[in-house]
Chain A
């Protein structure tokens, strides 16, 4: 015989793979992603009384997971030395220029083309796969800042505080993310 809680635990387990993929996309570290999922499922089991049909189970789990992801990003940032991050950002900025712009700062070879009816992409599951692929090939910290800003919707001030970086550093990181993601989507989706 199955009690209500058993059923819930089984159902929670079914979402594990999905939650793991989600956490990995944000954290880019298998160990941290696994921890965040564990913590989420644990919190969920404890708080199962609060759930009771509010929204869908997965939405609820993701909402918990988002808090865990931010905790992990915050903790990881505190363990890093902020100065080395600054240097890394400067180096990458130079790399962006080499990748996308010539020595006089003009577009190197491919200027951004016009995208026809981009919103049509929202309806296509293949587009979301490509979006995830493009996020996955971003360097880890660039991806984290982009996800916090554009997916989770945190303000740039909150992100700076959590990741212990300056506002100008954060804006450079976002710029790099946008350059790369835009380029990746154009190549993989809009130029098909």
Chain B
């Protein structure tokens, strides 16, 4: 059985490349039973969308210490 440290690492790795079959199954089982890691998985996928949105914000983004127009 995976612990939360191992499960969150696999959730992170899963964003980069597909896991092996045993890893994938072990992770699904863990996430089914662990709401903390389930949230972690959702939130790092959200973080990816935050990064992409930040990249698109270039033109109008309010970077810190930069007065708004």
Q: Which residues of A contact B (CB under 8 A)?
A: 17-18, 21-22, 25, 55-56, 58-59, 62, 97, 100-101, 104-107, 111-115, 118-119, 121-122, 125, 128-129, 131-133, 146-147, 149-153, 156, 171, 174-175, 178-179, 181-182, 185-186
Q: Which of B12, B55, B63, B66 contacts A178 (CB 8 A)?
A: B12
Min CB distance B59 to A, Å, is 5
User: B1-45 vs A: 1/0 string, CB under 8 Å?
Assistant: 001111011001101110000000000000000011101101110
Min CB distance B12 to A, Å, is 4
Given contacts A174-B12, A178-B12, contact A151 B64 (CB under 8 A): no
Q: Which residues of B contact A (CB under 8 A)?
A: 3-6, 8-9, 12-13, 15-17, 35-37, 39-40, 42-44, 46-55, 57-59, 61-66, 68
CA of A121 to CA of B68 in the docked complex: distance in angstroms? 18
Q: Which residue of A lies closest to B44 (CB)?
A: A178
Given contacts A59-B59, A105-B3, A175-B13, contact A151 B54 (CB under 8 A): yes
Q: Which of A56, A104, A112, A153 contacts B3 (CB 8 A)?
A: A104
CA of A182 to CA of B50 in the docked complex: distance in angstroms? 11
Q: Which residue of A lies closest to B46 (CB)?
A: A118
Tally of A-B Cβ pairs under 8 angstroms = 108
Interface of A, secondary structure class, is helix
Given contacts A107-B4, A114-B35, A182-B47, 4 further A-B contacts (CB under 8 A): A111-B36, A112-B39, A119-B49, A182-B40
Q: Which residue of B lies closest to A181 (CB)?
A: B47
**B39-A111 in contact (CB<8A):** yes
**B43-A115 in contact (CB<8A):** yes
Using Cβ atoms and an 8 Å threshold, which residues of chain A touch B36? 107, 111-112
Using Cβ atoms and an 8 Å threshold, which residues of chain B touch A21? 63-66
Interface of B, secondary structure class, is helix
Q: Which of A55, A119, A131 contacts B54 (CB 8 A)?
A: A131
**A150-B48 in contact (CB<8A):** yes
Min CB distance B49 to A, Å, is 8
Using Cβ atoms and an 8 Å threshold, which residues of chain A touch B3? 101, 104-106
Q: Which residue of A lies closest to B16 (CB)?
A: A156
Using Cβ atoms and an 8 Å threshold, which residues of chain A touch B39? 111-115
**B5-A56 in contact (CB<8A):** no
Given contacts A58-B59, A128-B57, contact A105 B5 (CB under 8 A): yes
Q: Which of B6, B17, B35, B57 contacts A111 (CB 8 A)?
A: B35
